[in-house]
Amino acid sequence: MTDRKYPNPDDVRRAFLASGRRHLILTGSRGAGKTTLLRGLCGQNTYPGITTKAIPMTAVTMTDNLTGEAARIAVYDPTLPGTERKMRPTEDGFSVFGVKLLERCAETAGEFVTIDEIGYLELGCEAYLCALGKLAAQKRLICVVRDEVLGEISRIIPTDASFVLNFDRLPGDVGCVIMASGMGKRFGGNKLIADFGGEPMIARILASTDGIFSRRVVVTRHSDVADYCTRRGVDVVLHDLPDRNDTVRLGLDAVGKVSACMFCPADQPLLQKNTVASLAMAASSVGQCIYRAAWEDTVGAPVVFPAWCFEELRTLPTGKGGGYVAKRYPQYVKTVSVSDPAELDDADTKERLKELLQAWENGCQR
């Protein structure tokens, strides 16, 4: 990982929308940033919902996001066994105040309700869990759930209907193959070493994919590209095989055992890191789908394939790429929207490279 703030709200929002899942669950260890991300997702809006806050060695309060009404739902009890979980629910906290608050949320206008957070205390109140299940059937939830109770909460908020983002498992078990084996016939030479804003064009895709994947490899037949990537600390497969299907196979073999793999063309200099992160996040959280970058109705690359596609990718017909597999399974294809259509453009010719460079200089790098 790099020092880039990851994940950020825009990345998560795009990945969640692309997944088609009903609920968004943020989970992970204490202090991982779940609440901060939840606030970022809400932006300036205050959604109906619940915020709980623990005051160490004192109490836990529950607050109605819209009205500000609050109540103590648990108090500190040092006599409880063990070294943790020292909060004891109050008699009417979850069963009365909490249930009424959930019922009130169900009656509000709008699609989403936020809950920050769900932990071990909630598990002890069946009336609260029942009200939470009813709310999940009526509204879409964006909620923070303690990792240790996620399995138990799944009977209330089904994980197969949820986009689960686990902060402790980012960036996830997703690999990346950078496809850098093109001959550049229309360009008139190796375009990946051509200057783009003071550095080789290959540097753009290296920057856009940096710090996101569990394993990343560049597959190329160009020794100068291989040398540049190696100096940047990026793994390389240098080969002399003729076809696109060879590049796909070599890349998959080099990436190794991953749950999904993204294939990125090396000649899309305006591809944004946020797009790459959103695609990887979607694949990590909802693993059975094929994810493609798209602008409105135009689909393009990168493309992320789940592991069930790997055998077909390894045995592609001569000259075919991953698009061949994606077209065979349209029912599994989902798209993540790019911020600018130029993200999908490749620099096939010197003229097109100049146009993309001008677009980049004019601010097409958001």
DSSP code string of 107-128: HSSSSEEEEEEE-HHHHT-HHH
Distance CA 133, CA 127 (A): 10
Q: Which tokens belong to 93?
A: 């906290």
- The answer on 321 and 203 residing in a single domain is yes
How long, in residues, is the chain?
A: 366
Q: Which tokens belong to 36?
A: 């901060």
Contacts (Cβ under 8 Å, ≥6 apart) of 317? 245, 324
Q: Is 366 inside a domain boundary?
A: no
Distance CA 201, CA 264 (A): 14
Residue span of the structural domain in which 93 resides: 9-168
Distance CA 108, CA 48 (A): 7
Query: 332 near 245, Cβ under 8 Å?
Result: no
Q: Is 91 inside a domain boundary?
A: yes
Distance CA 287, CA 275 (A): 17
Q: Which tokens belong to 330?
A: 């349209």
Q: What is the pLDDT of residues 345-362, one digit of tens each?
A: 988 888 888 889 888 887
Cα dist. 14→2, 17, 172, 295 in Å? 21, 5, 17, 13
Q: Measure the CA dihedral 80/87/72/91, to 10°.
A: -40
- The answer on 194 and 162 residing in a single domain is no
Q: Which tokens belong to 260?
A: 């999904």
Q: Which tokens belong to 347?
A: 């620099």
- The answer on 185 and 118 residing in a single domain is no
Residue 23, beta-bridge partner list: 162
- The answer on 210 and 112 residing in a single domain is no
Contacts (Cβ under 8 Å, ≥6 apart) of 52? 60, 61, 62, 63, 73, 116, 117, 119
- The answer on 198 and 61 residing in a single domain is no
pTM (2 d.p.)? 0.80
Number of structural domains, the chain?
A: 2
The CATH code of the domain that includes 213 is 3.90.550.10
Domain boundary among 168, 198, 213: 168
Tens-digit pLDDT profile for the chain (366 aa)?
333 345 788 889 988 988 889 999 999 877 778 888 898 888 878 889 999 998 888 999 999 999 999 999 999 888 888 777 888 889 889 999 999 999 999 999 999 999 998 988 998 899 999 999 999 999 999 999 988 888 899 889 988 899 998 887 776 789 999 999 987 677 777 889 989 989 999 999 999 999 889 899 999 999 999 999 999 999 999 999 988 999 999 999 999 999 999 999 999 999 999 899 899 988 888 778 999 999 988 999 999 999 999 999 999 999 899 999 999 999 999 999 898 899 999 888 888 888 898 888 877 543
- What radius of gyration do the chain's Cα atoms show? 24
Distance CA 224, CA 117 (A): 52
Tally of CB atoms within 10 A around 69: 13
